[in-house]
Structure 1
Amino acid sequence: MSTGQGSGKHKAKKDHFIPQAAGNQSNQMAPGSRAGNPSGTSQALVPHQPSQAQQEQTMLVPKGYTVKPIVPAEKAELISVAKAMHREEFGSRVKELFDPEREAALDALQTGIYIGYRCPEYKWDCIRVGVKSKCFCGHLLAEHELCSSVRVPCVVMDCQCKAYAFIPARPEDVGEFWLRKRRNFDPSAWRAKCRCKHNHEEHNVVGNHNCKISGCSCPAFDSNFLCAACDKHWEQHQTFFETETQRKEAGLPYGEAYLPFAEMPNLRNAVLSGNEADDSAYQAITSGTGSYSHLGPSSSSARPALPPATKPR
């Protein structure tokens, strides 16, 4: 029957039709469609395939998302990588990170009293300690009785601390920089912890610092973190209170050499002012025109090479 044959031919032609992809316009033809073909040869439209170059320049991102082009580091070393990551914010990030040590160094230049956290065998300080630095007892250095003695007791009522002992109070001090990127992370609530999983404020401030938590058999504070500067444990460090003369005799940096990154002018400037190219703060210190008159050796003598590395506990 003619009706059945006609419908069959019509259906066959539909089977050969390839629909065009939405949003893509193309003049390419294929067998199965008569569009634009006066000879009657059956051709069909095929989807447009973007070139490889177009695909490389296309990126699907959420609405409102800002994308910065990726710029590779100039050298495969820490500072170049950090600059490539933070770009124009590099100087301000460095200043923010080292603000506590900057304040500690400037206080030392004014008072002549240097407070450093380091391993006894080192000739440089892992961290410069200031009045806002925390003690193992949980109180700040400002809450201790500063005197000429190396034993600086805590003056907070009912605190049994008899000698200030620096303890890291920021995750950056132990190399855990990523913690601040966590949602709802509270830096003020962070505490350095023992291997028993309890923090330093949950340990006794005298003796071996045994744990006070009921049921915990921890006999002494055994840090579960390493120093970001030397990769050694807290127990291997000491807190030193020294005069400028004592540091000079011991071969330790003092004066302008005590500033963070004193041997690297660009980073030193970033710490002092947030701008690598701005050395005005450093010039004010070294010229003696400001409040800082305690000058030591040139910055080229600061931070000697580390002693041979030893395996951490």
Structure 2
Amino acid sequence: MSSGQGPGKQKAKTQAVVHESNQTIRGSKTDNTSGASQALVPHQPSQAQQQNTMLVPKGYTVKPIVPAEKAELISVAKAMHREQFGARVKELFDPEREAALEALQTGIYIGWRCPEYKWDCIRVGVKSKCFCGHLLAEHERFTGTSVRVPCVVAGCQCRAYAFIPSRPEDVGEFWLRKRRNFDPSTWRAKCRCKHNHEEHNVGGSHSCKAGGCSCPGFDSNFLCAACDKHWEQHQTFFETEAHRKEAGLPY
């Protein structure tokens, strides 16, 4: 060959390099003053990898993805929430159930809907919140004559109960429950001016009270989960059983 080295010499050189490398590795074991081994060892997978499990960052939890049995609402919801499905469904519909039972017991039906509808978007119960920020239970009782049910909390200027959604689910914001450390009790329905209903006047056009805000009236930045219409397009109705029968409404 033109290089002057035959195959035998190349092989010998290669073997010498390998031999020299091995000597270096073996020598590093004894040259370490701390006595710890410095030998190169193959990468050993962690115990979690060996067990075919996932490595999860601190503070996070991982749940396996279980596909829904059918492409139907209930089946998909069960797959999403699994063991918490029953509890979440109960929490979601308990206010409606309680309001319906109250109506059957008292004969007074209170609903929140658009005037042109023959069904209630939300049934209103004693725990339902008014625009003024107080519960229906903190207002005078409906007598069947006047629909103006004023608030009885001292200092409140509310002269007529007006239902306002108090849960993110009421306006279709179900995803908020997925946020870490989300507290549903702090959620408030907001105006387009970014201030919530408690920061607006309870009377008149519900102008904003927040300093520096020129909002002339509450203009909801959300839609009703039942009909996709704004809060101001709805009304709160106080009705007797006889009135609902006459109007063709469910009772």
TM-score by length of 1: 0.62
Match of 2:97 among 95, 102, 112: 102
Take 1:5 and 1:88, find their aligned partners in 2: how far apart are those partners?
69
Equivalent position SS for 2:239 = strand
Alignment of 1:1-313 (within 5 A): 8-11=13-16, 22-23=43-44, 58=52, 60-62=54-56, 67-75=63-71, 77-147=72-142, 148=144, 149-254=146-251
Deviation at 1:179, TM superposition (A): 1.5
Take 2:166 and 2:220, find their aligned partners in 1: how far apart are those partners?
13
CA contact (8 A) 2:207 2:215 kept: yes
Deviation at 1:59, TM superposition (A): 5.2
Equivalent position SS for 1:114 = strand
Query: Aligned in 2, Cα 1:110/1:216: closer, same or farther, shift over 3 Å?
Result: same
CA contact (8 A) 2:190 2:222 kept: yes
CA contact (8 A) 2:208 2:217 kept: yes
Deviation at 1:98, TM superposition (A): 1.2
The residue aligned with 1:34 is none
CA contact (8 A) 2:224 2:230 kept: yes
Take 2:77 and 2:10, find their aligned partners in 1: how far apart are those partners?
74
Deviation at 1:87, TM superposition (A): 3.2
Query: Aligned in 2, Cα 1:186/1:72: closer, same or farther, shift over 3 Å?
Result: closer
CA contact (8 A) 1:73 1:83 kept: no
Deviation at 1:110, TM superposition (A): 0.7
Deviation at 1:190, TM superposition (A): 1.2
Equivalent position SS for 1:107 = helix
RMSD, aligned α-carbons: 2.9
Take 1:158 and 1:66, find their aligned partners in 2: how far apart are those partners?
49
Deviation at 1:145, TM superposition (A): 0.5
CA contact (8 A) 2:68 2:78 kept: no
Deviation at 1:68, TM superposition (A): 3.3
Query: Aligned in 2, Cα 1:103/1:21: closer, same or farther, shift over 3 Å?
Result: same
Unaligned runs of 5+ in 1: 25-56, 255-313
Equivalent position SS for 2:94 = helix
Take 1:144 and 1:236, find their aligned partners in 2: how far apart are those partners?
23
Q: What stretches of structure 1 move > 3 A for 4+ residues in a row?
A: 4-7, 11-14, 19-24, 63-69
- The amino acid across from 1:205 in the alignment is V
Deviation at 1:139, TM superposition (A): 0.7
Unaligned runs of 5+ in 2: 1-8, 20-39, 46-50
Take 1:236 and 1:221, find their aligned partners in 2: how far apart are those partners?
12
**How many positions carry a matched residue from both structures?**
217
Take 1:205 and 1:103, find their aligned partners in 2: how far apart are those partners?
27
The residue aligned with 2:32 is none
Equivalent position SS for 1:81 = helix
Take 2:187 and 2:61, find their aligned partners in 1: how far apart are those partners?
31
CA contact (8 A) 2:200 2:209 kept: yes
- The amino acid across from 1:60 in the alignment is M
